[in-house]
Amino acid sequence: MSPTMAGLAIIAGLFVLLGTGMPIAFALGLSAILALVLQGGFGMFYILSETMFAGIANLAYVSIPMFVLMGAAVASSPAGGDLYTALDRWLNRIPGGLVLSNLGACAIFSGMTGSSPATCAAIGKMGIPEMMRRGYPASVATGSIAAGGTLGILIPPSVTLIVYGIATETSIGRLFMAGVIPGIMLTAMFMVWAIIDCKRKGYEFDTRALRYTLREKLSGLPRILPFLLIIAGTLYVLYGGIATPSEAAGAGALLTLLVVVIAYRLFKIRPVANIFGSAMRESVMIMMIMAAAELFAFALSSLFITQTIAAAIASMEVNRWVLMGLINVFLLVAGMFLPPVAVIVMSAPLLFPIITQAGFDPYWFAIILTINMEVGLITPPVGLNLFVINAVAPDVPTREILWGSLPYVLVMFLAIVILCIFPGIVTWLPNHMMGVPI
């Protein structure tokens, strides 16, 4: 069997396993094992554990469970509610202000947690019922939060960017800095669309009749400022070269946990145990996916599939932007079926030499890849954020959630085009703060 046919067979087998509802890590691992056994017989079993362990035996990976713990501490506390209330009081006079409050809360909460599902769940539990109570259509209420939740994998600290950095051996600090301006830009674009949509449809809401005094607006800030300071401090020590990503993540997780316990008086064992339990489940899931993806990548490489694909792409005599367009289509399709971590671990080592050879900046490409993964989070058939919103608001039909999130998908496409035309939006801040990479 030729490498091309072998690759198609393995990919087809993977999608069959995923179609049965099997967890991503198990589907990746089982399809890789079958491919290796068919290639070299059962004697290949001796390399399975070694390959999977090698996939996660990297000290830099310590930062992942630490950032996950940091996010779990915030997501499992009333911090989301305080953040939502504070923003609502400042933005309620703007047309569609509650949508802006939700998007702003999603952006800040994403920076605290680095998790899109956690952001959707935390903000959605409060935001969706409140928006619908004040007259917002279900599609607007659910779609805005589903889209806002995707910011969790772009705005630093981002687990997705950490995985990309380790997979491609690029600077995690520089990747975080590269995500700052695009994250702010995409949040602003979401907000602009929300205002345009509300004005275009002529929405009139009770929220504009509500007035808050300056004292009421300021009263909610003390609860959320410590979290913002922790995020700023974590990023500062990371960007300033004071600490490694693992050290910064560990310190941030400890400080966040202490603030949550003290501020919300979580002095009993059960709430703290729930925080650690939630962080452990998500961390193990991510690590299992990464270990299985390493085995899957090894199987593809052993069958010379990755080499054949890379050679075929590299030999294409096309304009480099046509090549980037094809890569974007591939990432969009992959993101519709697989979670971001799995796509990055599987594709980044393959695409990295191709995009650098074509003259593209690897840090710029990391942001393009991440926005593509954001699109996958709110598009079927997987669309993880859609399922989270559906669980938070079971009375809203999935069709309404899809229609509400579709405009934000188009906004993300526009953001990709803007970043392609003006790559300096991504590269200016890391180059200015850390110097131009050699």
pLDDT at 422 (0 to 100): 95
Amino acid at position 222, single letter: P
Q: How much is the pLDDT for 123?
A: 78
**CA distance linking residue 98 with residue 104, whole number of Å:** 10
Residues 6+ apart with CB under 8 A from 409: 147, 375, 378, 379
Q: Where are the alpha helices (DSSP H) in 303-423?
A: 305-314, 320-337, 340-357, 362-377, 384-392, 398-421
CA–CA distance, 331 with 75 (Å, rounded to integer):
29
The DSSP 8-state label assigned to residue 154 in this structure reads T
CA-nearest of 10, 4, 1, 35 to 311 is 4
Do 371 and 327 contact (CB within 8 A), yes or no?
no
pLDDT in the model for residue 438: 63
Whole-number pLDDT of residue 361: 94
What is the model's pLDDT at position 415? 95
As a dihedral over the C-alpha atoms of residue 349, residue 350, residue 355, residue 356, rounded to 10 degrees, the angle is 50
Please tell me the predicted confidence (pLDDT) of residue 314. Answer: 64
Cα–Cα distances in Å, from 121 out to 65, 127, 250, 387?
Answer: 20, 10, 24, 10
pLDDT at 195: 81
- pLDDT at residue 437, rounded to an integer: 72
CB 367 within 8 A of CB 325: no
0.85 surpassed by pTM: no
Whether 153 and 371 have beta carbons less than 8 Å apart is answered as no
Match 């900046």 to its residue by tokens. Answer: 361
Identity of residue 322: V
What confidence score (pLDDT) does residue 383 get? 74
The whole-number pLDDT of residue 309 equals 67
- pLDDT digit string (tens) for the chain, length 438 residues: 666 677 677 778 877 887 777 887 888 888 888 888 877 777 677 777 778 887 777 776 777 788 778 777 877 777 767 777 777 777 766 666 778 878 887 887 777 766 677 778 777 877 788 778 777 788 888 888 888 888 878 888 788 888 899 888 898 889 988 999 999 999 999 988 888 887 777 665 544 556 777 787 788 777 778 877 887 787 777 766 677 777 888 888 888 888 888 888 888 888 888 888 888 887 888 788 778 877 877 777 777 766 676 667 667 777 889 889 988 888 888 887 777 887 888 788 788 888 988 889 999 999 999 999 889 888 876 677 887 788 778 888 878 888 888 999 999 999 999 999 999 999 999 988 877 776
Say how far apart CA 210 and CA 218 lie, in whole Å. 16
Q: Residue 310's pLDDT is what?
A: 62
Q: Residue 427: its pLDDT value, please?
A: 93
CA dist., res. 402 & res. 200, Å (int) = 20
In the block, which residue shows the tokens 């779609």?
Answer: 143
